[in-house]
Amino acid sequence: MTTVETHEAHTAIRALESVFVSVVAALESEMVFTRHLVGGLLAELEEEIDRDKFKRLLHYSRRLGNFQNRVKLVCRLTFPRKPQAPHCRPPLHPAFFTVPGSPHATYLIHRPPFCGISI
């Protein structure tokens, strides 16, 4: 490689890195915002259960599913690997989260791990 080609390669790598950092920051801020919304809704559901709150819960569930798909896509683009046979996939791992001010400190969600990013 010539010096010009090396410089162009380094520039391209730095550009990709800045895009990746921007995407990860956007995903992280969305995760924090959604976690706050879900935590507040769960606290409200502990006080009173009604139809509107269940609709919001369904909406947040869909939102989290879309978020998880975007994270998986970023992971696949960033860390490509060989496809695994279905019997070789890792088992579901539990994820715990705490709702601030809740008498029930911890909720358990079963979800598959992906890319070391926890939701």
Taking the C-alpha atoms of residue 91 and residue 95, their distance in angstroms, rounded to an integer, is 13
In a domain, 95, yes or no: no
pLDDT for 104:
47
In a domain, 91, yes or no: no
pLDDT for 65:
94
Taking the C-alpha atoms of residue 61 and residue 53, their distance in angstroms, rounded to an integer, is 12
In a domain, 109, yes or no: no
In a domain, 42, yes or no: yes
Task: Tell which phi-psi region holds residue 50, choosing left (phi > 0), alpha (psi between -120 and 50) or beta.
Answer: beta
One digit per residue, pLDDT tens: the chain, 119 residues? 688 788 888 888 888 889 989 999 999 999 999 999 999 999 999 999 999 999 999 999 999 999 999 999 988 888 777 665 555 455 444 444 444 555 444 444 444 444 544 44
**Boundaries of domain holding 20:** 3-83
Number of domains the chain is built from: 1
In a domain, 30, yes or no: yes
